[in-house]
């Protein structure tokens, strides 16, 4: 009876999404308003939700039953590989003591609260992805992964974001890795049901909550491992399953070769990180002519993050002033009571800027100018994005 054919239903998928969002609202808002600890309520809500969706008729998972063990075994290995990479990176970046309670009571409580939520989420995830249309499967995977990633992160982490750099670090260290993990878990759930995704996410969560020592990684290291490892595992799983089912056929290299997909993914993620400033050097489009003839509107400058104490007169820096990014030359370094600031001026301006630039406002030093390639970006920008009133010509 359990594996009798059942039609996919977007209506059922929407119900499961609504349940996930409702439980997130209850956990992050309602319980805090009535001052009831999450550990008293949420485990039972997740257990009830998981049991309800487990009993509801749904389409069977995509792979053959004889391949269930393959997905379970791969899920376990993928989780172990990720943990091993984190430990190796921790030996380089540093290890720290876990902040969680490791008394017998604490361990039991963590297993009950985290385990019930994990199992409930994975059962709902499986129900959700199996009921979405087979057409546009990639879109369905991304939709489910994005939803599950969003509700995994506490709302306090969203509300505590401050500034552009904080948002970049949050996206790179938490949101993007969480999205990659959930994309892999969604694929495992789609192909093998909830068990593989429970194994994968369960081993990861078990290490995080139960290990007395955890890697204390720099955010860029955590972002790199958290993004690349799930992508590599996803591509490997596709290749393994294709060969296992003897469906491997000669197709175009860009369509089936996991190496090509992995390289494409690495390049894509790298370009995104480069654009948002994750790396020590990042690009920026110039919108005004205040630095002509050195830099013209539509040029792209490459900015290197440097030690502000190494800056000297004549350096062209990028800094933030009233939420505007400005690239001007340092014409004077001012030191008052051990506080260093910089007087700046655009090469094409008649006078120096009417403010001093503090060290914490400096984003980096311009090291290269690439002419004209930023014009498409300027054409797409809204006129509200850049105010020219604050920049002297």
Whole-model pTM: value is 0.65
> Domain ends where: 231, 258, 276?
276
- 246, 276, 306: which is the final residue of a domain? 276
Q: Specify if 391 maps to a domain.
A: no
Same domain, 287 and 268: no
Assess if residue 388 is contained within a domain: no
> Cα-flanking dihedrals φ and ψ of residue 375, to 5°?
-60, -40
Cβ-Cβ contacts under 8 Å for 40 (sequence gap 6 or more): none
Q: Which of 72, 67, 78, 59 is nearest to 242 (CA)?
A: 67
Q: Domain for residue 4, yes or no?
A: no
Where residue 3 falls among pLDDT bands split at 50, 70, 90? very low
Among 276, 302, 323, the domain boundary falls at 276
Cα 188 to Cα 38, 67, 147, 248, 296, distances in angstroms: 29, 12, 16, 19, 50
Looking at the fold, whether 74 and 123 belong to one and the same domain comes out as yes
- Same domain for 304 and 370, yes or no, is yes
Label residue 282 exposed, middle or buried (CB < 10 Å: 0-12, 13-18, 19+). Answer: buried
Instruction: Give me the CATH number covering residue 296.
Output: 2.10.109.10
Identify the CA nearest to 185 among candidates 224, 131, 149.
149
Q: Looking at the 3D structure of the chain, how many domains does it have?
A: 2
DSSP letters of 149-167?
HHHHS-HHHHHT--HHHHH
For residues 245 and 297, state if they share a domain: no
Across the chain, mean pLDDT equals 82
Residue 389 inside a domain? The answer is no
Highest mean pLDDT among 59-63, 216-220, 285-289, 325-329: 325-329
On whether residue 300 sits in a domain, the answer given is yes
Burial annotation 288-306 (CB, 10 A radius, 16+ → b, else e): bbbbbebbbbbbbbbbeeb
178 & 39 share domain: yes
Contacts of 61 (CB under 8 A, 6+ apart): 126, 130, 189, 190, 191, 192, 193
Q: Comparing 365 with 386, which gets the higher pLDDT?
A: 365
The answer as to whether 245 is a domain residue is: yes
State how far the Cα of 167 lies from the Cα of 14, in Å rounded to an integer.
Answer: 29
Is 3 among the domain residues?
A: no
Same domain, 241 and 318: no
Give the range of the structural domain holding residue 191, as residue numbers without chain letter. 10-276
37 closest CA partner among 46, 47, 26: 26
Residue 71, domain member (yes or no): yes
Segment 42-94, tens digit of pLDDT: 999 999 999 999 988 877 776 666 677 888 999 999 999 999 999 988 888 88
306 and 267 share a domain?
no
Assess whether pLDDT exceeds 50 at residue 382: no
Say yes or no: 298 and 363 in one domain. yes
Q: State yes or no: pLDDT of 205 exceeds 90.
A: yes
More confident residue, 185 or 262: 185
Q: How far apart are CA 363 and CA 324, in angstroms?
A: 12
Same structural domain, 163 and 237: yes
* pLDDT score recorded for residue 265: 58
- Whether residues 243 and 329 share a domain: the answer is no
Neighbouring C-alpha atoms within 13 Å toward the C-beta of 162: 1
Q: Which of 369, 235, 240, 218 is nearest to 295 (CA)?
A: 369
pLDDT-derived band at 230, boundaries 50, 70, 90? very high
pLDDT in tens, 336-380: 888 899 999 999 898 999 899 998 889 889 998 888 776 665 555
Planar angle of CA 118, 121, 126, nearest 5 degrees: 125
131: Cβ–Cβ under 8 A, 6 or more apart, which residues? 8, 9, 10, 12, 13, 16, 58, 59
Q: Do 202 and 132 share a structural domain?
A: yes
């Amino acid at each position: 009876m359990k594996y009798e054919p059942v039609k996919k239903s977007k209506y059922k998928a929407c119900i499961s999404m609504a349940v996930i969002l409702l439980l997130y609202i209850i956990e992050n808002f309602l319980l805090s308003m009535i001052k009831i600890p999450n550990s008293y309520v949420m485990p039972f809500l997740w257990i009830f939700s998981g049991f309800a969706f487990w009993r509801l008729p749904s389409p069977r998972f995509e792979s053959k039953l004889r391949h269930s063990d393959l997905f379970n075994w791969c899920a376990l290995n993928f989780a172990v590989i990720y943990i091993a990479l984190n430990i190796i990176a921790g030996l380089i970046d540093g290890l720290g003591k876990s902040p969680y309670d490791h008394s017998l009571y604490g361990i039991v409580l963590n297993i009950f609260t985290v385990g019930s939520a994990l199992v409930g989420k994975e059962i709902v995830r499986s129900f959700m992805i199996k009921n979405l249309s087979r057409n546009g499967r990639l879109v369905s995977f991304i939709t489910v992964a994005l939803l599950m990633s969003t509700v995994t992160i506490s709302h306090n982490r969203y509300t505590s974001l401050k500034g552009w750099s904080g948002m970049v670090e949050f996206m790179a260290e938490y949101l993007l890795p969480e999205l990659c993990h959930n994309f892999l878990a969604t694929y495992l759930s789609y192909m093998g049901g909830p068990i593989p995704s429970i194994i994968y996410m369960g081993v990861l969560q078990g290490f995080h909550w139960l290990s007395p020592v955890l890697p204390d990684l720099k955010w860029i290291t955590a972002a790199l491992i958290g993004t690349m490892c799930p992508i590599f595992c996803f591509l490997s799983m596709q290749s393994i399953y294709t060969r296992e089912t003897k469906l491997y056929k000669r197709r175009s290299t860009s369509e089936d070769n996991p190496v090509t997909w992995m390289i494409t993914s690495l390049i894509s993620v790298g370009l995104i990180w480069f654009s948002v400033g994750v790396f020590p050097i990042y690009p920026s489009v110039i919108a005004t002519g205040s630095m002509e003839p050195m830099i013209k509107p539509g040029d792209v400058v490459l900015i290197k993050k440097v030690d502000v104490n190494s800056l000297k007169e004549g350096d062209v820096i990028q800094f933030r002033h009233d939420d505007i990014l400005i690239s001007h030359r340092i014409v004077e370094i001012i030191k008052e009571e051990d506080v260093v600031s910089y007087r700046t001026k655009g090469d094409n301006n008649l006078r120096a800027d009417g403010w001093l630039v503090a060290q914490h406002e400096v984003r980096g030093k311009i090291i290269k100018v690439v002419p004209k390639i930023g014009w498409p970006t300027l054409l797409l920008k809204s006129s509200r994005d850049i105010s020219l009133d604050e920049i002297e010509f």
